Amino acid sequence: MDGKGRNHVTSASHLVALILFAFWGAVKARALLNEDYTCSSCGKPNIVMVMCDSLDGRLTFHPKNETVDLPFVNLMRKHGSLFLNAYTNSPICCPSRAAMWSGLFTHITESWNNFKGLDPNHTTWMDLMEKHGYYAQKYGKLDYTSGHHSLSNRVEAWTRSVDFLLQQEGRPVAELVGNKSYVRVMQKDWKATDDAAAWLRNKATNLTQPFVLYLGLNLPHPYPSPSSGENYGASTFRTSPYWLQRVRYEAIKIPKWLPFSEMHSVDYYSSYTKNCTEKFTEKEIRDIRAHYYAMCAETDAMLGEIISALNDTGLLRRTLVVFTADHGELAMEHRQFYKMSMYEASSHVPLLIMGPNIKLQFVPNVVSLVDIYPTMLDVAGIPIPKNLSGYSLMPLVLKQAEDKVPTRKQHPTWILSEFHGCNVNSSTYMLRTDKWKYIAYSDGRSVSPQLFDLSADPDELTNIATKFPEITQYLNKKLYSIVDYPKVSASVEQYNKQEFINWKQSLGQNYSDTLANLRWHQNWKKDPKKYEDAIDRWIKEKTNL
Ligand SMILES: *[C@@H]1O[C@H](CO)[C@@H](O)[C@H](O)[C@H]1NC(C)=O
Ligand SMILES: *[C@@H]1O[C@H](CO)[C@@H](O)[C@H](O)[C@H]1NC(C)=O
Ligand SMILES: *[C@@H]1O[C@H](CO)[C@@H](O)[C@H](O)[C@H]1NC(C)=O
Ligand SMILES: *[C@@H]1O[C@H](CO)[C@@H](O)[C@H](O)[C@H]1NC(C)=O
Ligand SMILES: *[C@@H]1O[C@H](CO)[C@@H](O)[C@H](O)[C@H]1NC(C)=O
Ligand SMILES: *[C@@H]1O[C@H](CO)[C@@H](O)[C@H](O)[C@H]1NC(C)=O
Ligand SMILES: *[C@@H]1O[C@H](CO)[C@@H](O)[C@H](O)[C@H]1NC(C)=O
Ligand SMILES: *[C@@H]1O[C@H](CO)[C@@H](O)[C@H](O)[C@H]1NC(C)=O
Ligand SMILES: *[C@@H]1O[C@H](CO)[C@@H](O)[C@H](O)[C@H]1NC(C)=O
């Protein structure tokens, strides 16, 4: 229970009015602002970036707030630029963040799974900003360097092309805790939010240099499920009645599922390993989705704390606020929860930018998280290196194009997302351009590709790859020109096998026992020899996809 949090949340509309006033002030004071911009010491805006985990980006514009009220996302939408087509470059925590912090595609940094991200010494955009005079401060979840996440997580990724099928995750469930005054459900995130807000109030106001603040949140990622045994994953959608009352049950859409016989083989593998192939009642699905939306509302309130701190301190008019997420959450769409998929719910991220000289608009262009790196450098006036995978978004969001920045390049009309980790038994590559989403797998031949027309089929239920072979071929060629994906898939497979062999050797006699007790233990123990034999056969196979 927390009265302070509640007050801030319920006073959102009040704050909208106040901030409107503040922005009016900023417009009237434009002459002054322009003068500011010519002053070398105070010319650069501050930057505050809030990055949450697992927020389906479509919720920032669709279906508006019919299902859930997100007052601070709405506030940013009313005062800044909202990207309608922003994507993750790899729909899983660590590889996605690795792309965001490095400005480089996943296959370039070889951030293959949650265990393998960036080297800890990699130079991030924040490091560069610090070098160029910004005061840099981080709070909360970072998760972009190698060496983290559970053992199960990495072994599942390494063994994804072994010829077996095992349930790895707990069955997704909805859980209600506390009562109508229980606000701070995700306490760790609230602590990080409090720390960041306190830093803004106490420290940022007194800085003589511009600052960049990063707040990483874990919400609305589902919570761990200890009930599924010793090695559990996170499949519990937990919230309190306080947040659930923000959700309108009547408006919740029950996603349509394809019959098993029509599912793509890789989707079936995902659904099975995520323990979603058994029966779910409509009530179970509705509850999971309702809880997920409520978790998004709690996330929104954390964003609100930061915006309130900026407004209270008068920093807002000199600060660029960015809100995004590492990836989305399927919340039972396509018979799955979690991410790891190229479907919209998983790959589409929120991206909102508001602040001085930022247009009030919806931006239709396709963009992705690698664009954050050059955007931040652009804001800070740091030359943008040539070899980045992303492009500055500033030309898309600035009210008045300021001086031409020679190192800026125009964003292409496509984005690339790729996935090489667990719960998907083939490397996956997604090219999004205008209304098309093209998804290629593995070597491009052994697994059939998918093509969706998002304008006609927003739920992505009809694969039209064979119906439109010219478009499929054209997009495949385009994809191939961006990344030699069969080669990447082969090197991931080689990496997986080598890492697994090294791990096996390190365990010596403990190997069989350790293997049997990973997250898949319930299934494994029914026939341990069969599964170990499948691994042995896989180790012996030559690595040619
Ligand atoms: C969302 O709902 C609230 C009230 O429930 C309303 O005040 C607000 O204007 C709505 N916002 C949008 C963007 O529809
Ligand atoms: C980072 O550390 C690795 C060794 O862990 C080293 O090989 C690499 O050169 C370092 N990179 C930079 C940019 O310092
Ligand atoms: C998978 O779901 C089934 C019920 O559908 C459940 O009995 C089982 O415990 C779940 N497996 C795991 C690993 O949680
Ligand atoms: C809600 O729960 C808290 C903590 O358990 C308790 O102190 C409070 O009285 C409860 N409020 C209501 C309205 O039941
Ligand atoms: C910030 O600066 C003001 C005056 O410049 C001073 O009164 C105040 O104590 C400072 N606050 C902190 C936290 O240093
Ligand atoms: C992935 O798993 C599914 C389900 O077991 C299977 O049908 C398919 O052949 C597998 N694909 C690859 C590339 O291993
Ligand atoms: C927001 O900023 C405006 C302008 O500085 C100020 O008048 C107002 O009190 C602030 N609102 C809050 C809640 O601090
Ligand atoms: C990109 O270029 C910079 C300097 O031009 C260099 O330091 C860096 O290593 C390059 N990165 C990659 C991934 O090629
Ligand atoms: C095997 O397990 C035992 C008991 O847990 C432990 O003492 C030993 O160090 C392990 N050996 C290896 C090679 O990990």
Q: Residue ranges of the domains in the chain?
A: 3-487
Q: Is 147 in the pocket of ligand 8 (CB under 6 A)?
A: no
Instruction: Give the Cβ contact number of residue 205 at 10 Å.
Output: 13
Closest atom, ligand 6, to C-alpha of 441: 13
Residue 171 CA, ligand 3 centroid: distance in Å: 5
pLDDT at 402: 66
Q: Is 312 in the pocket of ligand 7 (CB under 6 A)?
A: yes
**Ligand 5 site-directed mutation target among 135, 206, 208, 313, most atoms within 8 Å of CB:** 206
Q: Is 1 in the pocket of ligand 4 (CB under 6 A)?
A: yes
Closest atom, ligand 7, to C-alpha of 312: 14
Residue 131 CA, ligand 8 centroid: distance in Å: 16
Q: Confidence class of residue 5 from pLDDT cuts 50, 70 and 90? A: very low
Burial class of residue 138 (count of CB atoms within 10 Å of its CB; 0-12, 13-18, 19+): middle
pLDDT at 543: 59
Task: Check: CB of residue 74 under 8 Å from CB of residue 19.
Answer: no
The continuous run of DSSP H or E covering 502 comes out as helix 485-507
Contacts of 530 (CB under 8 A, 6+ apart): 164
Q: What are phi and psi of 458, to 5 degrees?
A: -65, -25
**Tens of pLDDT, residues 182-225:** 999 999 999 999 999 999 999 999 999 999 999 999 999 999 99
93, 94, 276, 296: which is the annotated catalytic residue? 93
Per-residue pLDDT, averaged over 269-275, amounts to 97
Per-residue pLDDT, averaged over 11-25, amounts to 45
Q: Is 512 in the pocket of ligand 9 (CB under 6 A)?
A: no
**Ligand 3 site-directed mutation target among 150, 152, 171, 271, most atoms within 8 Å of CB:** 171
Q: Confidence class of residue 403 from pLDDT cuts 50, 70 and 90? A: low
Q: Which residues pair with 323 in a beta bridge?
A: 50, 352
Burial class of residue 208 (count of CB atoms within 10 Å of its CB; 0-12, 13-18, 19+): exposed
Of all ligands present, the nearest one to the C-alpha of 207 is: 5
Task: Check: CB of residue 290 under 8 Å from CB of residue 247.
Answer: yes
Of all ligands present, the nearest one to the C-alpha of 240 is: 4
Residue 541 CA, ligand 9 centroid: distance in Å: 29
Provide the mean pLDDT of the chain.
91
Q: Is 78 in the pocket of ligand 1 (CB under 6 A)?
A: no
Of all ligands present, the nearest one to the C-alpha of 309 is: 7
Nearest to 269 by CA among 329, 220, 340, 321: 340
Contacts of 310 (CB under 8 A, 6+ apart): 48, 200, 316, 319, 321
Residue 170 CA, ligand 6 centroid: distance in Å: 21
Q: Residue 300 pLDDT > 80, yes or no? A: yes
Task: Check: CB of residue 124 under 8 Å from CB of residue 370.
Answer: no
3-state secondary structure of 418: strand
Q: Residue 64 pLDDT > 80, yes or no? A: no
Task: Check: CB of residue 423 under 8 Å from CB of residue 340.
Answer: yes
Q: Confidence class of residue 523 from pLDDT cuts 50, 70 and 90? A: very high
Q: Is 32 in the pocket of ligand 9 (CB under 6 A)?
A: no
Closest atom, ligand 6, to C-alpha of 425: 1
Residue 528 CA, ligand 3 centroid: distance in Å: 18
Angle at 441 between CA 440 and CA 443, to 5 degrees: 110
The continuous run of DSSP H or E covering 347 comes out as helix 344-347
Per-residue pLDDT, averaged over 61-76, amounts to 90
Helix ranges, 366-484 (H): 372-380, 394-397, 469-482
Q: Is 202 in the pocket of ligand 5 (CB under 6 A)?
A: yes
**Tens of pLDDT, residues 335-362:** 999 999 999 999 999 999 999 999 999 9
Q: Residue 62 pLDDT > 90, yes or no? A: no
The continuous run of DSSP H or E covering 47 comes out as strand 46-52
- Distance of alpha carbon 505 from alpha carbon 386, whole angstroms: 42
Q: Which residues pair with 140 in a beta bridge?
A: 216
**Ligand 2 site-directed mutation target among 102, 118, 121, 387, most atoms within 8 Å of CB:** 121
**Ligand 7 site-directed mutation target among 312, 313, 319, most atoms within 8 Å of CB:** 312
Least confident segment among 18-27, 173-182, 216-225, 363-372: 18-27
Give the CA distances from residue 209 to residues 23, 135, 212, in Å, rounded to whole numbers and listed in that order: 23, 7, 10
Q: Is 401 in the pocket of ligand 9 (CB under 6 A)?
A: no
Query: Any residues with Cβ below 6 Å from ligand 2, and which?
Result: 119, 121
Closest atom, ligand 2, to C-alpha of 121: 1
Contacts of 343 (CB under 8 A, 6+ apart): 330, 333, 334, 460
Residue 65 CA, ligand 1 centroid: distance in Å: 6
Per-residue pLDDT, averaged over 261-282, amounts to 98
- Pick the more confident residue, 524 or 226: 524
For ligand 2, atom 14, which residue shows the shortest CA distance?
A: 121
Q: Residue 293 pLDDT > 80, yes or no? A: yes
Check if 296 is active-site.
no
DSSP classification of residue 52: E
pLDDT at 158: 96
Query: Any residues with Cβ below 6 Å from ligand 6, and which?
Result: 161, 165, 265-266, 268-269, 425-426, 442, 447
Closest atom, ligand 2, to C-alpha of 122: 13
Q: What are phi and psi of 481, to 5 degrees?
A: -70, -20
- Pick the more confident residue, 401 or 498: 498
Q: What CATH code would you report for 3-487? A: 3.40.720.10
Q: Are strands 46-52 and 211-216 parallel, antiparallel or unpaired?
A: parallel
Of all ligands present, the nearest one to the C-alpha of 489 is: 6
Tokens of 150: 């559970």
Q: Confidence class of residue 545 from pLDDT cuts 50, 70 and 90? A: very low
**Tens of pLDDT, residues 135-178:** 999 999 888 888 888 899 999 999 999 999 999 999 999 999 99
Q: Are strands 236-239 and 319-325 parallel, antiparallel or unpaired?
A: unpaired
Residue 510 CA, ligand 9 centroid: distance in Å: 6
With 0.75 as the threshold, say if the pTM is over it: yes
Per-residue pLDDT, averaged over 79-84, amounts to 98
Q: Is the dihedral of CA 306, 308, 58, 414 positive or negative?
A: negative
